[in-house]
Amino acid sequence: MQKIQMKTPLVEMDGDEMTRILWQQIKDELILPFVDLKTEYYDLGLVEREKTKDAVTMEAALANKKYGVAVKCATITPNKQRVEEYNLSEMWKSPNGTIRAVLDGTVFRAPILIDSIKPAVRNWKKPITIARHAYGDVYKATEYRIPGEGKAELLFTAKDGTEMRQTIYDFECAGVLQGQYNKDSSIRSFAHSCFKYAIATKQDLWFSTKDTISKQYDQTFKLIFEEIYQNEYKDEFEKLGIEYFYTLIDDAVARVIRSEGGFIWACKNYDGDVMSDMVSTAFGSLAMMTSVLVSPDGNYEYEAAHGTVTRHYYRYLKGEETSTNPMATIFAWTGALRKRGELDELPDLVAFADKLEAACIQTLNDGIMTKDLAGLVEDKSAVTPVNSMGFLKAIRERM
Ligand code: NAP
Ligand code: MG
């Protein structure tokens, strides 16, 4: 069989632990036999990040900007325990944070649905994609514990020295205090990414904040979205028959639960963090959640939403059999290959991505699945639980 050819390399970002093992297996079993794979390889595994003083992460992020499409394996975000475990010279930053800062993107997360696993919300029939603004707010906040009586003020000093000052609260007792910010430039990027993604996937776009309470902060998000929509995307939306609408987050939550799914829900950073966990759990499993970072100038980074599955890795190291679900990591590969195929006008590569996804779904519909999913299916008689390799082999047969 002649292998499918590529033009531009994918930026390949390898990672850590169980997902690093799966990464190689997915390539060997499902991609390399069919595609003459061209990648520019960056090893973001913690060992290599330590060796290069994390320079490799920045190089990978810049390569993503240069070539446009990357596929990333899950990576360890070091904490104190990891610093000891890997003998790190520094607590290196989250690679995802570094990549997001370079691409200035929005994270879109969508579940993979199969017939045998019913969403916890009965009327959900199509995936709900969460678009999370990945910058600022509580994630970049400055905060104190206030020890006791005293006055808290909000002060802004402009470049020319003029001041804006307001009392936040006259504390009569101990308490807490927090300052948050965001930037118009980042909110604009967020809006552009959302509108572009809605057009690319032909889905309605919902956006929600709490602008009735946050009359400057959240209101700014609402106004920027509205302005950009009216000026730049309205015609295209109308042509495609898709809709943009803004609503209060309370109202959005109620509508989401009553909906059939099949739309994008854009959320501020914190809302997106929380809601994406709720939505993925309600759809079935974190192991079935895909994730793509989209930058406003059209760069893409595909990954799984879950982490490196540490608990399984330590079992694997002891030689025990593991049943880690590779679906989200396979879909990171297919997402990236499809996008590369679209950009380079390679219909065979696009078709390959479609076929590989179809083979995965077919395998699951045949009842062959990893243990995390097997536990979620009601009719257990129709299920054959397998380990990761058994699952990959079953997909390969169907390919
Ligand atoms: P995790 O790797 O997502 O795993 C948490 C648990 O969820 C697992 O122990 C497993 O449950 C289940 N799970 C997740 N993915 C699964 C899969 N594909 N198949 C089967 N079960 C799956 O989260 P974590 O344990 O909190 O984090 C581990 C490491 O990943 C950390 O070092 C963290 O920094 C990193 N992380 C990286 C990313 C990223 O690169 N994007 C994201 C999140 C976390 P059971 O053990 O019950 O089977
Ligand atoms: Mg979260």
Per-residue pLDDT reduced to its tens digit, 32-87? 999 999 999 999 999 999 999 999 999 999 999 999 999 999 999 999 999 999 99
Compute the distance from residue 30 Cα to the ligand 2 centre, in Å: 30
pTM for the model stands at: 0.89
**Structure confidence by residue, pLDDT tens digits, 314-324:** 999 999 989 99
Q: Is the CB of 287 under 6 A from ligand 1?
A: yes
Please name each of the domains of the chain with its CATH number. Answer: 1-111+298-399 (3.40.718.10), 118-136+191-283 (no CATH), 142-179 (no CATH)
Q: Which of 286, 289, 290, 320 to mutate to test the pocket of ligand 1 (most atoms within 8 A of CB)?
A: 286
Measure the CA–CA gap between 71 and 10, rounded to whole angstroms: 7
Atom of ligand 1 nearest to the CA of 305: 41
Handedness of CA 145, 147, 152, 157 (dihedral sign): negative
Residue range 194-226, pLDDT digits in tens:
999 999 899 999 999 999 999 999 999 999 999
pLDDT value at residue 293:
93
Query: pLDDT tens-digit profile of 259-296?
Result: 999 999 999 999 998 898 889 889 888 889 999 999 88
Alpha carbons 366 and 384: distance in angstroms, whole number? 9
The DSSP-derived string for 20-64 is HHHHHHHIIIIITTTB---EEEEE-SHHHHHHTTTHHHHHHHHHH
Could you tell me how far CA 336 lies from the centroid of its own chain? 13
Cα–Cα distances in angstroms (integers) from residue 340 to residues 7, 84, 264, 374, in the given order: 9, 39, 23, 33
On whether the CB atoms of residues 176 and 213 are closer than 8 A, the answer is no
Closest-approaching ligand to the CA atom of 286: 1
